[in-house]
Amino acid sequence: MASNSVLSRARTIFEMIKFEHTIFALPFAYMGMFLAARSLGQFLPTLSQFVWVTVAMVGARSFSMALNRFIDRKIDARNPRTAGRALPKGLLTPNSVMVFAIASASVFLYATWMLAPLARYVWPFIIAPFILYSYTKRFTWLNHVVLGACLGLAPVGAWIGIANGISPAIILFGLGVAMWTAGFDIIYACQDVEVDRREGLLSIPARFGIAKALVITRIMHATAVACFIAGGVILGLGAIYYAGVAVIALLLIYEDSLVSPADLSRLNAAFFTMNGIISVIIFVFTATDLVFRAIGRGLS
């Protein structure tokens, strides 16, 4: 009976933090890891590097999501869309969620210690936006950009953890991820315009209206593609990588076409699935490009 209770609580926690959506972040971290390994002359990241980058990402994202659910629990209870979440419904206690958040942060910190030495010093700059984000909707409509920065740090943090340094190219990749995420979050926030205005919360859709918000999203997504192209140029990536960027550009165009000011009905689970596909595509095409180019150099 006790084991069933523990398993049930674990399932509730994983549902609360949307553990399956880790797929959004992990491919970008892996992208940074592969690019950093290549900058060091490695054919592939080592197994140790792969494991600890993964653990760091899972820990950081779990911390961020749990903290967000804790901080926003009262607001979530007043929003019909989020009232069914675990904390508003009383399925979890605030104390248990904070314990989980602290444990996740501890996992993240331990993983950073197992990576390159620089990671041990820059981790506060990685985790600070996660803490800041949940409060930003209370004082700025640029909270979408802060959320974007949280995910944009995935490739940057992985690069630091492997290469023990920083690169202009990886900053561009991080900016691209940030713009992609912020654009998607603006679309997502269109669902809550009336609630945000009633609660005095700030967002781009609530501030400028849905029509203008969707235009801002398209600009951000175009900027993301431009950053991916520029980063590829700096690192000398090849045709396979740019084919992946082209696929992403087409998917973003299609994604942006799914919603309009008059119709948000297609903002559903399939929308999230597409974003997961986008992040996987850029990693797979990047890794494939690096592997084939390394093989080509070895045969020449």
Q: Are 17 and 66 in contact (CB under 8 A)?
A: yes
Count of CB atoms within 10 A of residue 5's CB? 9
Q: Which helix (H) or strand (E) holds 69?
A: helix 47-71
Percent pLDDT > 90 in the chain is 69
What is residue 124's predicted lDDT score, i.e. its pLDDT?
Answer: 92
d(Cα 212, Cα 256) in Å, to the nearest integer? 13
Res. 3: pLDDT tops 60? no
What is residue 82's predicted lDDT score, i.e. its pLDDT?
Answer: 87
What is residue 122's predicted lDDT score, i.e. its pLDDT?
Answer: 93
Res. 19: pLDDT tops 80? no
Lowest model confidence (mean pLDDT) among 65-69, 156-160, 223-227: 65-69
Q: Could you tell me what percentage of the chain is helix, strand and coil, using 3-state DSSP and rounding each to the nearest 5?
A: 80, 0, 20
Amino acid found at 151: L
What's the average model confidence in pLDDT over 156-174? 96
Query: What are the DSSP E strand ranges found in the chain?
Result: none
Specify the residue for token string 């800041």. 132
Amino acid found at 286: T
Q: Are 228 and 173 in contact (CB under 8 A)?
A: yes
Query: Three-state SS for 114?
Result: coil
Q: How do residues 114-152 score in pLDDT, each as one tens digit?
A: 999 999 999 999 899 999 998 999 999 999 999 999 999
Q: How do residues 262-284 score in pLDDT, each as one tens digit?
A: 888 777 755 677 788 888 999 99
What is residue 138's predicted lDDT score, i.e. its pLDDT?
Answer: 93
What is residue 21's predicted lDDT score, i.e. its pLDDT?
Answer: 63
End-to-end CA distance of the chain: 63
Res. 1: pLDDT tops 80? no
Query: Helices 143-163 and 26-39 sit at what angle, rounded to 10 degrees?
Result: 40
d(Cα 3, Cα 74) in Å, to the nearest integer? 30
According to DSSP, the residues that pair with 263 across neighbouring strands are: 260
pLDDT band at residue 22 under the 50/70/90 scheme: low
pLDDT band at residue 5 under the 50/70/90 scheme: low
Domains of the chain, first to last: 7-118+139-299 (1.20.120.1780)
